[in-house]
Structure formats: C-alpha cells, structure tokens
A = this chain, B = another copy of it.
Amino acid sequence: MPRVDYLNDPNAPQANSIVPAVSAIVPDSDGRILLIRRTDNDYWSIPGGGVEPGESVSQAVTREVREETGIDCEVSGLVGIYSNPDRVAAYDDGEVRQEFSICFVTRMLGGTMATSRESSEVRFVPAQDIPDYDMHPSIRLRVQHYLESRSTPYIG
C-alpha cells in the first residue's frame, strides 16, 4: 500500500491510529547491518512491521525479518522505543498512523537472503557505507543509536 511519510511537518495530517510495530537491527558476523529497500516508499530501511494478535514482540521480530529478508534471527536486546507523535505515515485508505516502533538488536541464526513483496532489495551493509543509502531520518536514527552502543535503551 503506498504511503507518505511526514516528520516534524506542520502540514502533516492528524494521526488517527497507533499500531504497535517492531523493527530489527540484524548484524552479520562481520558487523554489517541487514537493510532492505522498501517497495512502498523506495527508502532503504531496516526490516520490521506490525505486531499481530497472537504473537509477542520477539515473535513479531523473527517473523518480519524472515518475511522481508529470508534471514532467521532471534531477539538479543533493545535499541529503543520510538513514539514520536510528529512522525506520521498517511496511507491511501485514510489511515494516518503515528510512529510507535520498538527497535531490537538480534542475533542472526541463518537463512538465505531473499526479496519479498515488501522488499525489492536485501543486503548487508558495512556501517561506514550506511550514510550513502537513502533512508528516512527516523530509521537512520535507530541505526545510529545501535551503532552508538548505548548503555540504556533510547526512550523517545
């Protein structure tokens, strides 16, 4: 579904929903980070998506990473909680969703990289190359918080 992202934009539409979502930093053994190219807005991003009834946040992370990248992983820690009311995404069915995403660190277990309906490209990217990738600022912030190796999770 096409979506339009807004950040700190006085002309953004008013949020009318909050959906709990998860996102994941998946480092490989060389410390490169798993990125996808989103089919809905063409940005590079980390894998993630909404939590579905019947699953825990950890299960949602494993499922979303598998669906969008083909990679198997398990949650190993927490990067932060991102609930900025000034970041909203407008969908073409009228939903205006406020950001509510918990970003986790994971341990890669295996799998084979594969694209999906939601991801047109999948690759592991060295940290120093990430600035070259076109990424929404709110996603770049999560990657940055991970790379800072913060002692306590970000709460925003």
Q: Does A1 contact B (CB under 8 A)?
A: no
Q: Does A77 contact B (CB under 8 A)?
A: yes
The reply to whether A54 and B15 contact each other, CB–CB distance below 8 Å, is yes
The reply to whether B152 and A53 contact each other, CB–CB distance below 8 Å, is no
Q: Does A16 contact B (CB under 8 A)?
A: yes
A interface: dominant SS: loop
Q: Does A116 contact B (CB under 8 A)?
A: no
**Which B residues are CB-close (under 8 A) to A156?**
56, 58
The reply to whether B17 and A18 contact each other, CB–CB distance below 8 Å, is no
**Which B residues are CB-close (under 8 A) to A77?**
152
**Which B residues are CB-close (under 8 A) to A98?**
53-54
Partner of A57 from the list B52, B56, B83, B104 (CB cut-off 8 Å) is: B83
Residue of B nearest to A59 (CB): B85
**For window 84-121 of chain A, which residues contact chain B by CB distance below 8 Å?**
84-85, 98, 100, 102, 104
**Which B residues are CB-close (under 8 A) to A53?**
14-18, 85, 98
Q: Interface of A with B (CB < 8 Å)?
A: 14-20, 51-59, 75, 77-78, 81, 83-85, 98, 100, 102, 104, 152-153, 155-156
